[in-house]
Chains A and B, each alone.
Chain A
Amino acid sequence: MPKALIATWEQVAVGVSHLGEGPAAARRRTLGVPYTEAIEGIRRALPPGSVYVLINADDKDEGDPLWTRFDLAPHPALFLGRLSRLPPRVRRAFPRGQPPVVLTFGNGEPPRLLGRAEFLDWFETPGRTGRPPVREEGSAARPR
Chain B
Amino acid sequence: MPPVLAEALAGLGGVALFAAAGGGWILLLGLSLSRAGRVGYAYLLGVAWVAGGLYAGSHLFHLTLNRSSTLALVALPGVAGLVRWAWRRAPSQGGGRGGRRLPLSVLLAVIVGSIVSLGLFVEALANPLLDWDGRMTWASQARYLRAAGTVDAPVLRKERWFITHPRYPVLLPVAQVAVLETFNAQEDEEPFRPLYAAFFPAFLLVLGDGARRVAGRRVAGWVVLAAAVAPFLVHREGGATGAYSDLPLACFYGGGLLLLLTRKARWGEGIAAGLLLAAAALSKNEGAILAGFALVAAAWATLRRLPRNSSTPSAKRLTPAALAALFTLAALLLFLSWRAAIPNRHDEGYEKLGGLWPAVVTRIPRLLPLLLARFFDWDRWTLFWWAAPVVLLAGRRGLRGRIALPLALAWGAPLAVAWGAYSIHWDPYYLVQVTWDRMLIQGSLPFFLLLALALRQSVVGWRGTYGGQTAG
Partners in one complex: yes
Residues of A within 8 A of B (CB): 2-5, 7-9, 11-12, 14-16, 18-24, 26-27, 30-31, 43, 54, 63, 65-67, 69-70, 73-74, 76-79, 95
Q: Would A16 and B147 count as touching, CB distance under 8 A?
A: no
Residue among A8, A18, A24, A26 with the most chain B CB within 10 A?
A8
User: Using Cβ atoms and an 8 Å threshold, which residues of chain A touch B147?
Assistant: 73-74
Q: Would A77 and B132 count as touching, CB distance under 8 A?
A: no
CA distance A67 to B162 in the complex (A): 12
Binary per-residue interface labels of chain B (140-166) against chain A in the complex, 1 for a CB within 8 Å, 0 otherwise: 100110111000000100101110100
Q: Would A19 and B7 count as touching, CB distance under 8 A?
A: yes
User: Using Cβ atoms and an 8 Å threshold, which residues of chain A touch B115?
Assistant: 5, 8
> Is B340 close to A, CB under 8 A?
no
CA distance A52 to B112 in the complex (A): 48
User: Using Cβ atoms and an 8 Å threshold, which residues of chain A touch B135?
Assistant: 66-67, 70
Q: Would A76 and B188 count as touching, CB distance under 8 A?
A: no
> Is B224 close to A, CB under 8 A?
no
| CB under 8 Å from chain A, chain B span 160-203 | 160-162, 164, 186-190
- From A14, A23, A66, A74, give the contact of B128 (CB < 8 A): A23
* B190 and chain A: residue at smallest CB distance: A23
CA distance A14 to B132 in the complex (A): 21
> Is B119 close to A, CB under 8 A?
yes
With both chains docked as a complex, state the minimum distance between the C-beta of B105 and any C-beta of chain A, in angstroms.
15
* A63 and chain B: residue at smallest CB distance: B132
CA distance A18 to B122 in the complex (A): 9
- From A7, A14, A27, A63, give the contact of B235 (CB < 8 A): A7
User: Using Cβ atoms and an 8 Å threshold, which residues of chain A touch B118?
Assistant: 8, 12
Q: Would B189 and A23 count as touching, CB distance under 8 A?
A: yes
Q: Would B139 and A11 count as touching, CB distance under 8 A?
A: no
With both chains docked as a complex, state the minimum distance between the C-beta of A135 and any C-beta of chain B, in angstroms.
25
CA distance A21 to B127 in the complex (A): 9
- From A5, A22, A79, give the contact of B162 (CB < 8 A): A79
* A8-B118, A76-B155 as given contacts; A69 in contact with B140, CB under 8 Å: yes
Q: Would B119 and A7 count as touching, CB distance under 8 A?
A: yes
Can you list the 3 inter-chain pairs with the closest CB atoms, starting with the nearest? Answer: A20-B4, A8-B119, A74-B147
Q: Would B126 and A5 count as touching, CB distance under 8 A?
A: no
CB<8 Å pairs between A and B, sample of 5: A3-B235, A16-B122, A19-B8, A23-B188, A30-B128
CA distance A24 to B3 in the complex (A): 13
* B5 and chain A: residue at smallest CB distance: A20
CA distance A41 to B112 in the complex (A): 44
CA distance A18 to B128 in the complex (A): 11
User: Using Cβ atoms and an 8 Å threshold, which residues of chain A touch B110?
Assistant: none
User: Using Cβ atoms and an 8 Å threshold, which residues of chain B touch A54?
Assistant: 162
Q: Would B128 and A4 count as touching, CB distance under 8 A?
A: no
Which of B76-84, B226-234, B463-471 makes up part of the contact surface?
A: B226-234
- From B125, B139, B189, give the contact of A15 (CB < 8 A): B125
Residues of B within 8 A of A (CB): 2-5, 7-8, 112, 115-116, 118-120, 122-123, 125-128, 130, 132, 135-136, 139-140, 143-144, 146-148, 155, 158, 160-162, 164, 186-190, 228-231, 234-235, 346, 379, 382
Q: Would B7 and A20 count as touching, CB distance under 8 A?
A: yes
Residue among B8, B118, B119, B346 with the most chain A CB within 10 A?
B119
Q: Would B155 and A27 count as touching, CB distance under 8 A?
A: no
Q: Would A19 and B125 count as touching, CB distance under 8 A?
A: yes
Q: Would B126 and A8 count as touching, CB distance under 8 A?
A: no
User: Using Cβ atoms and an 8 Å threshold, which residues of chain A touch B160?
Assistant: 78, 95
CA distance A12 to B114 in the complex (A): 13
With both chains docked as a complex, state the minimum distance between the C-beta of A43 and any C-beta of chain B, in angstroms.
8
The B interface is mostly helix, strand or loop, or mixed, namely: helix
User: Using Cβ atoms and an 8 Å threshold, which residues of chain A touch B122?
Assistant: 11-12, 15-16, 19
Q: Would A26 and B139 count as touching, CB distance under 8 A?
A: no
Q: Would B119 and A9 count as touching, CB distance under 8 A?
A: yes
Q: Would A70 and B126 count as touching, CB distance under 8 A?
A: no
Q: Would B126 and A18 count as touching, CB distance under 8 A?
A: yes
CA distance A130 to B228 in the complex (A): 51
User: Using Cβ atoms and an 8 Å threshold, which residues of chain A touch B382?
Assistant: 2-3
User: Using Cβ atoms and an 8 Å threshold, which residues of chain A touch B125?
Assistant: 15, 19
CA distance A20 to B135 in the complex (A): 22
CA distance A3 to B130 in the complex (A): 21
Q: Would A11 and B123 count as touching, CB distance under 8 A?
A: yes
Residue among B112, B136, B228, B346 with the most chain A CB within 10 A?
B136
CA distance A9 to B234 in the complex (A): 13
Q: Would B229 and A2 count as touching, CB distance under 8 A?
A: yes
- From B161, B228, B230, give the contact of A77 (CB < 8 A): B161
CA distance A66 to B162 in the complex (A): 9
User: Using Cβ atoms and an 8 Å threshold, which residues of chain B touch A24?
Assistant: 188
9 new A-B contacts at CB < 8 Å, known A8-B234, A67-B135: A5-B229, A8-B116, A11-B120, A12-B119, A15-B125, A21-B3, A43-B187, A70-B140, A77-B162
User: Using Cβ atoms and an 8 Å threshold, which residues of chain B touch A5?
Assistant: 112, 115-116, 229
Q: Would B162 and A73 count as touching, CB distance under 8 A?
A: no
* A19-B7, A70-B143 as given contacts; A26 in contact with B128, CB under 8 Å: yes
* A78 and chain B: residue at smallest CB distance: B160
CA distance A18 to B127 in the complex (A): 8
Q: Would B116 and A15 count as touching, CB distance under 8 A?
A: no
With both chains docked as a complex, state the minimum distance between the C-beta of B149 and any C-beta of chain A, in angstroms.
11
* A4-B116, A4-B235, A66-B164 as given contacts; A26 in contact with B140, CB under 8 Å: no
CA distance A70 to B357 in the complex (A): 38
User: Using Cβ atoms and an 8 Å threshold, which residues of chain A touch B189?
Assistant: 23
With both chains docked as a complex, state the minimum distance between the C-beta of B215 and any C-beta of chain A, in angstroms.
22
Q: Would A20 and B132 count as touching, CB distance under 8 A?
A: no
CA distance A143 to B135 in the complex (A): 26
